[in-house]
């Protein structure tokens, strides 16, 4: 059993429910927080600081402001609090035997071990698409989801910038999964790390993928930074999280997606030449 899970199970089985919850909350907050901090900080530091000038031609809409960064970081801390409180509840259900998060990789067979992570990612994409569309209904957008959309030019720090109610909705994908199937603890860890890194990258405001990626037979199946950035710009279309097929199947992919991706990935020299010809 991983050290984190061992410590939290020990805390949950010790006397004093408040002491147990407090311990699990703090440990989980620090554990989730370090992965979020590292992912957002690295992506933001590389794209928005170190390579800002070199990648200026790849900015999709505009750079986020300092006010955007402050708001995004504040709401991200709030989201981490929601996630860690939910984690404490999940672990309590694991200890009680209602949920199964198992240690031995082959307890439920090699096939399930190998399939569980990709299936969780697919399920997450399906779950997010439909809850995301629900959050775009008038009342929920105005009172809940609008917090996230205040970032019209988001930064990697917007990955967790949610109203607490939306943070709870987004976090329910794991407990719903555990109601149905057992999951290995390392698969859960990989799932969490995957969603943090890709979420931060999807809010980067700079298109870092190569030219032609969005039109490629395989690359085009994955959501790019441009794909999600257009959703922030307009609050319409491009509701998918990891893959583009839900948007394509249900007719919600923005018609300007390929054009904007091509524009963001135009080589720097060609981009400067185009600007110069327009000025001339």
Any domain includes 21:
yes
Confidence of residue 1 (pLDDT cuts 50, 70, 90): very low
pLDDT at 96: 85
pLDDT at 251: 97
pTM, 2 dp: 0.87
Any domain includes 268:
no
Compare 130 and 22 and report the one with higher pLDDT: 130
Any domain includes 277:
no
DSSP classification of residue 78? H
Distance CA 96, CA 77 (A): 29
Any domain includes 203:
yes
Any domain includes 276:
no
pLDDT at 125: 98
With 90 as the cut, is the pLDDT of residue 272 above it? no
| Segment 151-185, tens digit of pLDDT | 999 999 999 999 999 999 999 999 999 999 999 99
Total tally of structural domains belonging to the chain:
1
Question: Is the C-alpha dihedral spanning 178, 181, 185, 189 positive or negative?
Answer: negative
| Segment 89-111, tens digit of pLDDT | 888 888 889 999 999 999 999 99
| Segment 177-216, tens digit of pLDDT | 999 999 999 999 999 999 999 999 999 999 999 999 999 9
The proportion of the chain whose per-residue pLDDT surpasses 70, expressed as a percent, equals 87
Domain around 255: 3-263
For 161-196, b where at least 16 C-beta lie within 10 A, e where not — what string? Answer: bbbeebbebbbebbeebbeeeebbbebbeebbeebb
Token couple for 214: 């969005």
Any domain includes 273:
no
């Amino acid at each position: 059993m991983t050290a984190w899970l061992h410590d939290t199970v020990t805390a949950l089985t010790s006397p004093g429910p408040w002491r147990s919850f407090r311990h699990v909350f703090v440990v989980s907050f620090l554990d989730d927080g370090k992965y979020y901090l590292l992912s957002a900080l690295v992506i933001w530091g590389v794209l928005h600081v170190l390579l800002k000038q070199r990648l200026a031609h790849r900015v999709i809409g505009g750079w986020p402001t300092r006010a955007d960064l402050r708001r995004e970081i504040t709401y991200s801390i709030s989201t981490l609090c929601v996630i860690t409180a939910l984690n404490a509840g999940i672990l309590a259900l694991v200890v009680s035997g209602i949920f199964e998060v198992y240690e031995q990789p082959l307890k439920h067979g090699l096939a399930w071990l190998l399939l569980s992570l990709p299936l969780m990612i697919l399920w997450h994409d399906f779950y997010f698409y439909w809850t995301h569309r629900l959050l775009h209904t008038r009342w929920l957008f105005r009172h809940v989801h609008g917090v996230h959309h205040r970032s019209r030019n988001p930064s990697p720090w917007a990955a967790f910038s949610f109203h607490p109610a939306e943070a709870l909705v987004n976090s329910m994908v794991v407990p719903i999964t555990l109601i149905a199937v057992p999951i290995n603890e390392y698969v859960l860890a990989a799932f969490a790390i995957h969603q943090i890194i890709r979420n931060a990258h999807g809010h980067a405001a700079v298109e870092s993928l190569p030219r032609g990626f969005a039109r490629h037979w395989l690359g085009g199946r994955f959501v790019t930074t441009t794909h999600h950035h257009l959703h922030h710009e307009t609050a319409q279309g491009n509701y998918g999280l990891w893959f583009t097929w839900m948007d394509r199947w249900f007719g919600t992919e923005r018609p300007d997606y390929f054009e904007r991706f091509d524009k963001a990935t135009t080589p720097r020299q060609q981009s400067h030449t185009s600007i110069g010809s327009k000025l001339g």
